[in-house]
Amino acid sequence: MRIIITLFVFSFLFSFAAWASGPEGGYRIEVQCQNYDGDTLKLGYYFGKSQYLKDTALVNQGKFVFEGDEPLEPGVYLLVIPPDNKFVHVLVAADQQRFSLTVDLNDIVKSAKFKGSSENEIYYDYLRKLEERRPRAEELKKLMIEDSLQAGTYKAELAVIDEEVAKIQAEEIKKYPKHITSKLIRANQEIDVPPYEDLEEIDRKQKQYEYFRAHYFDQFDLNDPRAMRSGVIHQKIDFYLQKLTYQVPDSQIVAMDYLLSKMDKNPEAFQYYLVHFLNESARSKRMGMDAAYVHLVDQYYAKGLATWMEREQLDKLIAQAETLRPILIGKTAPDLPFFKENGETITIHSIKAEYTVLFFWDPECGHCKKSIPFIIDFYNAYKDKGVELLAICTKTGSDISSCWSTIKERGMDIWVNASDQYLKNRYKVIYDVKTTPQIFVLDKDKKIIVKKIAGEDLSTVMEEIMKVKSEK
Greatest Cα pair distance, the chain, in angstroms, is 86
d(CA 138, CA 4) in angstroms, rounded, equals 10
Q: What is the pLDDT of residue 3?
A: 32
| Architecture in CATH of 1-190 | Sandwich (2.60)
d(CA 220, CA 228) in angstroms, rounded, equals 12
Average pLDDT (86-97) is 94
CA 429, 413, 442, 362 torsion-angle sign: negative
Closest CA to 348 of 257, 252, 448: 448
C-alpha 321, offset from chain centre:
21
**Do 1-190 and 337-471 show the same overall fold?**
no
pLDDT band, residue 271 (cuts 50/70/90):
very high
Q: What is the pLDDT of residue 470?
A: 86
d(CA 10, CA 356) in angstroms, rounded, equals 56
Q: What is the pLDDT of residue 285?
A: 87
pTM: 0.86
Would you say residue 164 has pLDDT above 50?
Answer: yes
Would you say residue 8 has pLDDT above 50?
Answer: no
Would you say residue 273 has pLDDT above 50?
Answer: yes
Residue-by-residue DSSP string for 103-140? EETTSHHHH-EEES-HHHHHHHHHHHHHHHHHHHHHHH
Give the number of C-alpha atoms closer than 13 A to the C-alpha of residue 131, restricted to the C-beta side: 15
pLDDT band, residue 469 (cuts 50/70/90):
confident
Q: What is the pLDDT of residue 1?
A: 30
| Phi, psi values for residue 177, rounded to 5° | -60, -25
Higher pLDDT, 86 or 310: 310
> Taking all residues of the chain, what is their mean pLDDT, rounded to a whole number?
92
Note the pLDDT tens digit of each residue in 54-87: 999 999 999 999 999 999 999 999 999 999 888 8
Note the pLDDT tens digit of each residue in 428-465: 999 999 999 999 999 999 999 999 899 999 999 999 99
Cβ proximity of 225 and 267 under 8 Å: no
| Amino acid in position 94 | A
d(CA 424, CA 420) in angstroms, rounded, equals 7
d(CA 216, CA 223) in angstroms, rounded, equals 15
12-26, 175-189, 424-438: the lowest-pLDDT one: 12-26
pLDDT band, residue 301 (cuts 50/70/90):
very high
d(CA 87, CA 15) in angstroms, rounded, equals 7
CA 266, 272, 275, 281 torsion-angle sign: negative
Q: What is the pLDDT of residue 95?
A: 93
Give the number of C-alpha atoms closer than 13 A to the C-alpha of residue 133, restricted to the C-beta side: 22
Note the pLDDT tens digit of each residue in 375-426: 999 999 999 999 999 999 999 999 999 999 999 999 999 999 999 999 999 9
Strand order in the sheet with 26-34: 64-69, 26-34, 98-104, 113-115
d(CA 184, CA 178) in angstroms, rounded, equals 11
Cβ proximity of 453 and 461 under 8 Å: yes
Cβ proximity of 218 and 258 under 8 Å: no
Angle at 452 between CA 451 and CA 458, to 5 degrees: 80
Beta-sheet pairing, 416-419 with 26-34: unpaired
> Which residues partner with 277 through β-bridges?
none
Cβ proximity of 346 and 390 under 8 Å: yes
Which of helix, strand or coil describes residue 211? helix
> Which residues partner with 101 through β-bridges?
31, 114
Domain locations in the chain? 1-190, 201-327, 337-471
Closest CA to 188 of 107, 109, 127: 127
Which of helix, strand or coil describes residue 420? coil
Would you say residue 7 has pLDDT above 90?
Answer: no
pLDDT band, residue 4 (cuts 50/70/90):
very low
Instruction: Indicate the angle between helix axes 151-175 and 118-146, nearest 10 degrees.
Output: 170
Note the pLDDT tens digit of each residue in 116-131: 999 999 999 999 999 9
Q: Please give the radius of gyration of the chain, using alpha carbons only, rounded to the nearest integer.
A: 30
Would you say residue 5 has pLDDT above 50?
Answer: no
Would you say residue 11 has pLDDT above 80?
Answer: no
d(CA 230, CA 212) in angstroms, rounded, equals 22
Note the pLDDT tens digit of each residue in 201-233: 999 999 999 999 999 999 999 999 999 999 999
pLDDT-above-70 percentage for the chain: 95
Kindly report the number of other CB atoms within 10 A of residue 378's CB atom. 24
C-alpha 331, offset from chain centre:
27
* Span between the terminal Cα atoms of the chain, in Å: 48
d(CA 92, CA 43) in angstroms, rounded, equals 12
| Amino acid in position 265 | K
**CATH tag for 337-471 (out of 3.40.50.150, 3.40.30.10, 3.40.50.300, 2.40.70.10):** 3.40.30.10
